[in-house]
Structures are given as C-alpha cells and as structure tokens.
Chain A
Amino acid sequence: MHLLYQIFIDPFVQMGSAPDLLVQTLWEGLVSGVLYALIALGFVLIFKASGVFNFAQGIMVVFAALTLVGLYAHGVPAFLALALTIGVMFVLALAIERFMLRPLVNQPDIILFMATFGLTYILIGFGELIFGGDPKIMIADQLLLPSGSYSVKMLGGFVQMQKIDIAAAIIASLMVAALAVFFQKTRIGRALRAVADSHRAALSVGISLEYIWVTVWFAAGIVALATGIMWGARSNVSFALEIIALKALPVLILGGFTSIPGAIVGGVIIGVGEKLGEFYWGPLLGSGIESWLAYVIALVFLLFRPQGLFGERIIERI
C-alpha cells in the first residue's frame, strides 16, 4: 500500500506543491530532448536517404567537435576553424562513400549497419590518435554563442534558463525546418527518398548513387558538427560524448526512423520523460534509471505503433 502511494500519489503531490521546480524540470527535459533530437536527426537523415542505420553518428559528433576545437587550439581563428571543419566533414563523406558504401551497394541492411560499426572504430582510433583522449573545452564564446542564464520569476519561484540552451533549441528548430523543406520540396530530396526505397531502382532511373550518398553523409556531418558544438558547450568535448548516440536511439524508434519531425517530438518526449522520471520516481528505484528509462518509454509507444509515432506505415506484402 505504501509502495503504491509512493509510486502513484507522492510524486504528483510533490509536483503540485512546488510548481516552479516542476517547470524547471520540464525545461531541462525539453532542452536535453532537443539535444537528443539533434543526434537522432543525423541518424534519420542517413536512414531516410540510404536505408543505412548509421551507428557512427555518435562518434561523428565527437569527431567534428574535436576537429573544431583541435584546429582552434593550433591557432586557427574560430570561424575559419568552423569552415575547415565543414571541409573535413566533406572529405569524410567522400571517403566513406568511396571506400565503404560503393563496394557495398545492394547488400542487406545489416551488412551496412555492421560497416558503420567498423567506421566507428576507425573514427575513434583516428580521433584519439590525432587529438588525444583528454576532454577539451568547446570554443562557444569564440563562436559568438551566448553564455550566462536568464532567471524567470514564475509560480512563486525562479526558473533558471541557460542562454546556450535557448540557442540550441532555436538552432535545432531551424535545422529541422530546413531539412524538412530540403527533403520534401527539392529535386535532390526526392532523389534521396528514391534511393532509400531501393538502390537498384534508383540507379535504373538515372539517379547517381555516389552523388546522393556524398550529399547525405555531408549533411549528416554538418548536423553532427552542430550537435557537437551544442553538446560541447554544455559539457566538455570528449569521447564520453560517444555514448549519447545510445541515448538518441530510443528517440529514434519513438519518432520513427524516417521522420524528421518525429526526431524532434520523440526527443522532447524522451527528454521530458527521462528528467521527470529521474527527479520524481528516481529516488524510489535507486539512482541511474536514466540509463534505461528512455528505452522503456520508447518501448511502450512502440507497442502501440510499431513504426514509431511518425514513421511511414510499414506495408508488408507476400
């Protein structure tokens, strides 16, 4: 009885008694959700356009951020470093297409999935070899990102909002909007969706796979860079960031592999759910439930919609 009370009544009493704390928790959940969504966006982009489940997205985030910070540390001005990093991501996209994807055209999905594991190892190795494994500080100030925080008075208390979080939310929304337009309205976007449906069919109607793949991996690289900057500004840039990729996976299945808005909505649901769960129900179960709570939330949604909230309906034919 007492346990039931603790699970079903007590957290809500707490929420009601301190609404400002609730708003603060919600806001933090929202922000971490947006950041998860940014990583999920990189996954969605590549999955949607090539059917590859890119496990390396997490390490690409770290790699991009490390390149940026590393270049700056060698005396390159901040914005030039940013441009150079974009260049590096382009070269990476070219290399991935040439040496990994091209020989694997028309292979089963799981083989391509495994290949991205290989890519993950290579990027970890190179990243540590070139830039070293110790954490670095993101050059947020030099990139003119705001710092400090607003303190908003509401509901009988104060709610802290970091400016960088607000910036992250805005950048994420802009990127999502841009990508959605790119996919739905442009010629390349349509070609991308064709490739995702079938490599062979796309080739036969004259779509250049090489061109498409380089484009989409480059776009994912830019998303990775943006994610790296935002995550790096909140914590440090280190290989520990790699595990955030695993955090983005429940976001991905919740939103649906093929949906860009799904990534954002999924991210927010997971972020808010995770923070609320950790804050109000966490003490009951013991700490650290963050590591699996997101997956359970996603699973519950998935049982009702197996293709995710916004995923394309899976039609199976014999």
Chain B
Amino acid sequence: MFYREAGQYKTSYQADQALFPIRQDQIGIVLILAVAFILVPLMASTFVIDSVLIPVLIYSLAAIGLNLLTGYTGLLSLGTGGFMGVGAFACYKLATFFPGINVIVLIICSGFLAAAAGIVFGMPSLRIKGFYLAVATLASQFFLSWCFIRIPWLYNYNVSASIEVPTRTLFDIPITGPNATPVTRYLIVLTIVAVMTWLASNLIRGRIGRTWMAVRDMDIAAELIGIKLYPTKLLAFAVSSFYCGVAGAMLVFLWLGNAESESFSINQSFLILFMVIIGGLGSLLGSFFGAALIFGLPIVLRMIRGALGLSMTSATLEHINFITLGILIIFFLIAEPAGLARLWQIGKQKLRVWPFPY
C-alpha cells in the first residue's frame, strides 16, 4: 500500500539510473543511515556497540569483498582470511613507519597492499577454475598465515608474535588503541563501511561490474564478446582483496586491539564464505544479512539458553552450539539456496502488491 512506485515518473535517464530509483527506498536509506549515525550512538549500550555492531559491520565489509569475487565474478576463494591478515599486518607496519599520518589513511593504504597480494595469488585463476581454484587459493591462505608467524619483521620482533594497536587520534580524539571509546570506533567503522559499500554498488552497476558478471556467467562467452579475461579476473581479485584488507585492518585497529596469525586463520575464511553464501551470492545487501546472521547466531543462542535457564557445562554448550550452527546452515541452504537477499526481494515484491495481490 505504501511501498509502491506508481506515480513516480522519471523524466531523465539520470533519474532512471539512480542508485535508489524509488522514493520509498530513498527515504528508507536516509532513515537507516540516520538511525545508524545518530540514534545508535546515543541510545545503544557500549556492550551492543562494541561486541555486536562493530564486528558485524567489519565482517559485512569483508563479506562484500568476497562477494565481489565469488558472487559477482564467480571465482571461489578460500583465501579471504589471509588477505584480511595482509591488510592488518600492513596497517601495523605502516603505523610503525609513519606515526604522523592519520590512521584512517593508513587503513585505506593497507587495503592497496592487500590488493597487491590479491593480484599475486589471483594469477593462477586464468587457467584454474571452480573447486580447483578454491583449493589453489588455500595455498595463499596457508602461505600467508605461515608468513605472519615466521617473519618476525611483520610484528616488529614482538615476543608474543602479536601486533598491538598503538593509540592514534583524529582531531585530538583517540580513535584506535585502548583509550578509544566504542562509540568513536563505531562511527569510524560505520563511515568507512558506508562509503565503501556505496563505492562497491556503483562499481558493480558500471562497466567493470558488468564485465565481472559476464565472466561469472560464462567466461568463454565473455571472452568472445571482447572482454579480456585475465585483466578482468585479476581486477576482481585486486578489488576483493582491497575490501578484505581494509576489513582486516579495521578488525584489528578498530575492534580487537591486538591480533596474531591465528586471528586470520582458515576458519576466518570459511566464516566469511558462510556469510556470503547464506546472505546471498551476488548481493551487497546479502553480505550485511549474512554477517549479521552468522555473527549474531551464537549470541542469540547464548541468550536463548540464558532465558531457558539450562544448566550445562560450558563444554557441552559449546558442542550444542556447533550442532545448532550446522543444522541452521543446512536449514537455510534448503529453505532458500539463493540466500537471505532473495527472501528480502520476495518480501519487497509482496509488499508492492499488498494488500491486493491480484
């Protein structure tokens, strides 16, 4: 009844190609951003901001990165954790070398280093396809995590082999390190994620995104219509790793505070792949849904358990968590293989014709 585009006439191509062509969507996105930027920092508790909202946003960005590669270009990658690690360690080294430069600039720069790593490890992708490529990207994952342990230079010869985030400020307000308040860090994460999501959505609507999707749908056919496969695939690897690298740097600098090789293990890669698949391949919105679901599930399970007042040892609970998570993954795949983003689309379509579906 309210969500309907009837009567909204487009008089120019520009209006037709807008990111949100429907007025209700425009209002909706402004509302969401207003809530996220103004209401949440004022209302939400520190706990919610620090242990739910910040990580979900960061993981969403990583999921967007992987989605650009797997969902839009069709290249299955299991090396996400490694590329996130490159971003984090690069940011740490840059912060050591250039203490005067603003840390936000450094976080973005570390993304470029991760992109370089992505190009190197994406090179086999021209010849290797499908699951073979997935296993080949595992090579990058294992090699990079080995580097994070065995090259002491990367963590400044720290005895604990971990990187500690130094305190850095923006307008004299600490934004990283132990003194930064969760609200400040939340606002910075939110800004970076919002801007990068906006960039990604424009990227995939443009020529580059279309070539990626052509390659995904069938790479030989794409080559026949004049798309150069190798640069396209490498660009996808580079952009994807850029996003993952920025996400990794933010994960350490704006959330964890310190990290080691283990923080960027193979499990991290799998986790982000789950988010992409459950959220929906080839959907930016899905990346947010997937991150929220996969990250939120354990928290929700813990709350349900608390509400039921079950008394079990923590080990047993951990195992039951595992089982529940497994069952839910299979359940979601069976219920909607195209992901949560598809459910959202169906819901929107229903809303459009409600209350008179005929």
Asked if B320 and A129 sit within 8 Å, CB to CB, the answer is yes
In the assembled complex, the CB of A153 is this many whole angstroms from the nearest CB of chain B, namely: 38
In the assembled complex, the CB of B329 is this many whole angstroms from the nearest CB of chain A, namely: 3
Q: Which residues of B contact A110 (CB under 8 A)?
A: 76, 277, 281
CB proximity to B under 8 Å, residues A96-137: 99-100, 103-104, 107-111, 113-115, 117-126, 128-129, 133
In the assembled complex, the CB of B215 is this many whole angstroms from the nearest CB of chain A, namely: 13
Chain A CB within 8 A of B33 CB: no
B144: nearest chain-A partner, CB-CB:
A292
Asked if A307 and B132 sit within 8 Å, CB to CB, the answer is yes
Complex Cα gap A120–B150 (Å): 30
Asked if B326 and A125 sit within 8 Å, CB to CB, the answer is yes
CB proximity to A under 8 Å, residues B301-323: 315-316, 318-323
Asked if B136 and A111 sit within 8 Å, CB to CB, the answer is no
Chain B CB within 8 A of A257 CB: yes
Chain A CB within 8 A of B135 CB: yes
- Beyond A113-B131, A303-B124, A306-B129, whether A133 also contacts B329 by CB under 8 A is no
Q: Mark A285-299, 1 if CB is under 8 A from B, else 0.
A: 110110110011011
In the assembled complex, the CB of A145 is this many whole angstroms from the nearest CB of chain B, namely: 31
In the assembled complex, the CB of A158 is this many whole angstroms from the nearest CB of chain B, namely: 33
Asked if A318 and B320 sit within 8 Å, CB to CB, the answer is no
Chain B CB within 8 A of A221 CB: no
Q: Which residues of A contact B320 (CB under 8 A)?
A: 125, 129
Chain A CB within 8 A of B38 CB: no
Asked if B149 and A117 sit within 8 Å, CB to CB, the answer is no
CB proximity to A under 8 Å, residues B127-182: 127-132, 134-136, 138-139, 142-143, 145-146, 149-150
Asked if A53 and B322 sit within 8 Å, CB to CB, the answer is no
Chain B CB within 8 A of A21 CB: no
- Beyond A286-B150, A318-B218, whether A121 also contacts B326 by CB under 8 A is yes
Asked if B330 and A119 sit within 8 Å, CB to CB, the answer is yes
Q: Which residues of A contact B127 (CB under 8 A)?
A: 302-303, 306
Partner of B128, one of A289, A302, A318: A302
Q: Mark B97-138, 1 if CB is under 8 A from A, else 0.
A: 000000000000000000000000000100111111011101
Q: Mark B66-106, 1 if CB is under 8 A from A, else 0.
A: 00000000001000000000000000000000000000000
Q: Mark A277-316, 1 if CB is under 8 A from B, else 0.
A: 0000000011011011001101100110011100000101
Asked if B321 and A291 sit within 8 Å, CB to CB, the answer is no
Asked if B321 and A125 sit within 8 Å, CB to CB, the answer is yes
Stretch at the interface among A65-73, A189-197, A247-255: A247-255
Q: Which residues of B contact A99 (CB under 8 A)?
A: 330
Chain B CB within 8 A of A246 CB: yes
Asked if A128 and B319 sit within 8 Å, CB to CB, the answer is yes
CB proximity to A under 8 Å, residues B328-343: 328-330, 333-334, 337
Partner of B142, one of A53, A113, A253, A292: A292
Q: Which residues of A contact B134 (CB under 8 A)?
A: 53
Q: Which residues of B contact A253 (CB under 8 A)?
A: 131-132, 135-136
Asked if B323 and A291 sit within 8 Å, CB to CB, the answer is no
Asked if B323 and A122 sit within 8 Å, CB to CB, the answer is yes
Asked if B319 and A117 sit within 8 Å, CB to CB, the answer is no
Complex Cα gap A68–B157 (Å): 46
Complex Cα gap A108–B333 (Å): 11
Q: Which residues of B contact A113 (CB under 8 A)?
A: 131
Partner of B136, one of A108, A125, A285, A295: A295
In the assembled complex, the CB of A54 is this many whole angstroms from the nearest CB of chain B, namely: 11
- Beyond A53-B131, A104-B337, A288-B150, whether A121 also contacts B124 by CB under 8 A is no
In the assembled complex, the CB of B261 is this many whole angstroms from the nearest CB of chain A, namely: 11
Asked if A306 and B132 sit within 8 Å, CB to CB, the answer is yes
Chain A CB within 8 A of B270 CB: yes
Complex Cα gap A104–B318 (Å): 28
Partner of A302, one of B132, B321, B337: B132
Apart from A257-B131, A318-B220, A318-B224, list 19 A-B contacts with CB within 8 A.
A104-B333, A110-B281, A111-B277, A114-B329, A115-B329, A115-B334, A118-B326, A122-B327, A124-B322, A125-B320, A125-B322, A125-B323, A249-B135, A249-B138, A253-B136, A291-B146, A298-B139, A299-B124, A308-B132
Q: Which of B's residues lie within 8 Å of A, judged by CB? A: 76, 124, 127-132, 134-136, 138-139, 142-143, 145-146, 149-150, 218, 220-221, 224, 266, 270, 273-274, 277-278, 281, 315-316, 318-330, 333-334, 337
Q: Report, nearest first, the 4 A-B pairs whose CB atoms are least far apart.
A: A121-B326, A125-B322, A295-B139, A125-B323
